[in-house]
Amino acid sequence: MKPKRLLLACAATLSLAGCASIPPDRHPLAMRETPAELPASIHLAREGWPEAQWWTVYGDHQLNELIGQALARAPSLDLAAAQIAAARAAVNRAGAEQGLETELTASAGRQRYSANGLLPPPIGGSWVGEQTVNLEARYHFDWWGRNKAAVEAAIGEVQARRAAYAAAEQDLSAAIAQHYFALQMLWARGANVAQMAEKQEAAIADRRQRMNHGLASADDLRTAEAGLLMLKKTGEQLDTEASLEREALRALLGAGSKALDSLKPLPLQQAPHRLPAQLGFELLARRPDLQAARWRVQASMSRSEAAKAAFYPDLNLGAAIGLDSISVSKLLRSGSATAFFGPAISLPIFDSRRLSAQLEGARGERDVLIAEYNLAVADAVHDVARQGAALQGIERQLAQQAAVNATAAAVARSTERKLQQGLADRNTLLNAELALLQLQDLSLQLQQRQLLAEVALTHSLGGGYRATSSLTFR
């Protein structure tokens, strides 16, 4: 019989005689393959998914530069990159367990043998030197796919870390956009409050003149002055919040204290936001966090297979050739040659408790990851629905607010014409202009909510990410 067939026959025999009993896999969890769809009541004017580098649609060069800098040097991405490198090292370690393994060793030493021991004189009672050179080779046969499963698990972890890196990029870009938009809107609101303060100061001056003519009371003046103090307080609060947003941006960039000194207020442009009519499998491919969770499940399944394969016998081959001599001068002679060849057999029949615990732990980890993945899928759909509903509601509020603002602007224009015709006084016009500025502040707050909701929706849809590799190991 040929050696290869002999080995196969031995392996088959050992698989029957030396295999430990494998516990059954009771009630394994199933992965959620199809996400739920959005309710029919949630829809936006445009349909579709966000594009890669979605932030560029706002046409803001400051925002583009901030996100570009963050993606190039942010500390959070350094951590994700280090985790990928660690996962790749694990793949190399798992791959090193397969196939042929060689080792070259050499040693030299002296030993004194007992005069009353097993060896008689002249060896007994004297010091003897020994020199060895040995080349060993071991070949690991992966009969049951244990090593292959371990390699696949390690590759799955690498893929999970890559998807997690993409998720970290999406988290970072969304956070920067939200803080940047909040900063710009705080600056815009601050400028609007400053205009309100100017109008209020004009109203105070007008009331002083009216008091001089007996047309206003001191209480009217004090009320106007209290309104000015409240506006100044609001302005200080907006400045403080703007400083906090700048600090948040600086922390995300990992930059120095003066890195954002060049930022300045810019008018924000409205970008076309979209919501897909259907989610389905597309959501799984476009969410990097779901891809990472899915790869972790695949890796845990491979670890379970590796733990299951450990219940079968293991048969490997070992060989060694070398030189061994008690005299250095004779070490290289043919008579000093040594050789060894033989199989190494491992039977797990007496280790079933440890193997069962190991398999139970691997299966438990798999079920936990599957449950986490299923929950993440459900949460992703809920997140999209929540952000879509919020943005839809803000759009309706903005339309109503625009109508209110238009009415207030018409009142202010009409009052100004009446003032020119002598049919209204200065105080009435200032009150109309202040009312219009207050409505504009409400519009700015709604616009800020809209921008933040747009970014949140884009992030919940994956931020333009698209999985490039399938869920099969290569």
Q: What is the pLDDT of residues 313-346, one digit of tens each?
A: 777 777 888 778 777 777 777 777 888 777 777 7
Out of 58-62, 328-332, 416-420, 452-456, least confident range? 328-332
Band (118; pLDDT cuts 50, 70, 90): confident
Averaged pLDDT for residues 204-225: 82
Q: Is residue 471 part of a domain?
A: no
448 vs 459: CA distance, rounded Å: 17
pLDDT at site 180: 96
* Residue 52 within any structural domain of the chain: yes
How high is the pLDDT of residue 95? 65
pLDDT grade for 473, boundaries at 50, 70 and 90: very low
Ranked by mean pLDDT, the top range of 89-103, 191-205, 213-227 is 191-205
> Rounded to the nearest 5 degrees, what angle is found at the Cα of 214, between the Cα atoms of 213 and 217?
130
Q: Does 21 map to a domain? A: no
DSSP code, position 117: S
Sort 237 into a burial class: Cβ within 10 Å, 0-12 / 13-18 / 19+.
Answer: middle
Q: In terms of C-beta density within 10 A (0-12 exposed, 13-18 middle, 19 or more buried), how is residue 1 classed?
A: exposed
Q: What is the CATH number of the domain that holds 173?
A: 1.20.1600.10
305 compared with 265, residue with greater pLDDT: 265
CA-wise closest residue to 176 among 293, 311, 64: 64
What is the residue range of 436's domain? 3-12+28-460
pLDDT at 211: 81
Whether 471 has a pLDDT exceeding 50, the answer reads: no
The pLDDT of 128-139, averaged and rounded, is 79
- Residue 68 belongs to some domain of the structure: yes
Give the pLDDT confidence score for residue 341 in this predicted structure. Answer: 77
Of residues 17 and 375, the one with the higher pLDDT is: 375
Distance CA 180, CA 249 (A): 7
Residue 253 confidence (pLDDT): 87
Strand order in the sheet with 314-325: 99-112, 127-140, 314-325, 337-346
**Residue 377 domain-assigned?**
yes
At residue 305, the 3 state secondary structure works out as helix
Tell me the per-residue pLDDT of 359-373, one tens digit each, with 9 for 90 and over.
Answer: 888 888 989 999 999
Of the candidates 316, 359, 301, the one whose C-alpha atom is nearest the C-alpha of residue 21 is 359
Smallest CA-to-CA distance from 373 within 13, 82, 141, 33 is with 33
> How far, in whole angstroms, is CA 304 from its chain's centroid?
25
* Average confidence (pLDDT) over 306-314: 80
pLDDT at position 356: 82
Percent of the chain past pLDDT 70, that is, above it, reads: 91
Does position 403 have pLDDT exceeding 60, yes or no? Answer: yes
Residue 304 has pLDDT above 70, yes or no: yes
* pTM (two decimals): 0.79
Could you give the number of structural domains in the chain? 1
- In tens, the pLDDT along 422-436 reads 888 888 888 899 999
Which residue type is seen at 59? G
Reported confidence tier of residue 355, pLDDT bands at 50, 70, 90: confident
Residue 468 lies in a domain: no
Q: Say if 390 falls within a structural domain.
A: yes
Flag whether pLDDT at 267 surpasses 50: yes
Q: Which of 93-107, 246-260, 291-305, 419-433 has the lowest mean pLDDT?
A: 93-107
Q: What is the pLDDT of residue 131?
A: 82
- % residues pLDDT > 90 (the chain): 31
pLDDT digit string (tens) for 140-182? 777 777 788 888 888 888 888 888 888 988 999 999 999 999 9
What single DSSP character describes residue 274? B
- With respect to residue 305, please indicate whether it lies within any of the assigned structural domains: yes
Q: Please tell me the distance from the alpha carbon of residue 442 to that of residue 391, in angstroms, as a whole number.
A: 16
Q: Is pLDDT at 472 greater than 50 in this prediction?
A: no
CA atoms within 13 A on the CB side of 328: 6
Tens digit of each residue's pLDDT (9 = 90 or more) over 43-91: 666 778 888 899 999 999 999 999 998 888 777 777 777 877 877 776 6
pLDDT of residue 96: 62
- 422 Rama sector, left if φ>0, alpha if ψ -120 to 50, beta otherwise: left
Say what the pLDDT of residue 474 is: 35
